[in-house]
Amino acid sequence: MNSQTEENYIKALFNLANEKGEVSVNELSKSLDIKMPTVTSMMKKLAAKKLVHYESYKPLRLTEKGRREAGLIIRKHRLTEMFLVEKMGFGWEAVHEIAEQVEHINSPLFFEKMDELLGHPKTDPHGSPIPDINGKIEWLVYEKLSACKPGDKVRICAVLHSSAEFLKFLNNRDLRLGLQLRIKNVEAFDGSMQVSYGKHSVETLSLTVCEQLLVEKIS
């Protein structure tokens, strides 16, 4: 069984690799805000457990076993977030910190029951895919709202980053998953968009916001 600290390293490496491709010890160190010698020591420890491929001055890579472990940690995290929103009434902006703690519970039966009570959801409250019981993730292909054009009609399917500040920003503008938007105009100067949805006849979204919203086009 891996410690909570080891699990945090495995998950961070998995997420960074998906975002950047190759990950150095220095990048992992910055991501976790932990000194490089400490990170190097942990990588050697995880390599001894056959969870990480580690060689000096070469990119870090999770082994097949390491990817499975990371997937299972992420599964527990995302199921917990979904349970907190669907069954306990938490807002999607308030669940990350709680899930960070719950994801380290070592009880497959506990999470199997949670999954069952939720009806086996495929995504979490932020639209991210929930890995299966073997830790495998079925990646969903969406496009950024920023890539869309005037006249397009789209549905919000996921958020790229789910910081509490960003989710509160969306809440304040009645923006949520499943919402349909019509793009009215895109500013050539700064990439900001004018969109309409629900009771909002015109709402301006900055390029920063449009880059974080993942959508699918609808007819």
Whose structure tokens read 């009880």?
107
Q: Which CATH architecture has domain 4-62?
A: Orthogonal Bundle (1.10)
Tell me, yes or no, if the two domains 70-140 and 143-217 fold the same way: no
CATH class of 143-217: mainly beta
Digitized pLDDT (tens) for each residue of the chain, 219 residues in all: 778 999 999 999 999 998 878 899 999 999 999 999 999 999 999 999 999 999 988 999 999 999 999 999 999 999 999 999 999 999 999 999 999 999 999 999 999 999 999 999 999 999 999 999 999 999 889 999 999 999 999 999 999 988 999 999 999 999 999 999 999 999 999 999 999 999 999 999 999 999 999 999 997
Characterize the bridge pairing of strands 153-159 and 180-186: antiparallel
- Per-residue model confidence (pLDDT) at position 168: 97
59 φ, ψ (degrees, to nearest 5)? -60, 150
Give domain limits for the chain: 4-62, 70-140, 143-217
- Per-residue model confidence (pLDDT) at position 6: 94
Identify whether the C-beta of residue 159 lies closer than 8 Å to the C-beta of residue 213: yes
User: What's the whole-model pTM score?
Assistant: 0.91
- Return the CATH number of the domain spanning residue range 70-140: 1.10.10.10
Residues 6+ apart with CB under 8 A from 141: none
Query: 142: closest CA among 218, 56, 61?
Result: 218
β-strand partners of 129: 123
- Per-residue model confidence (pLDDT) at position 162: 86
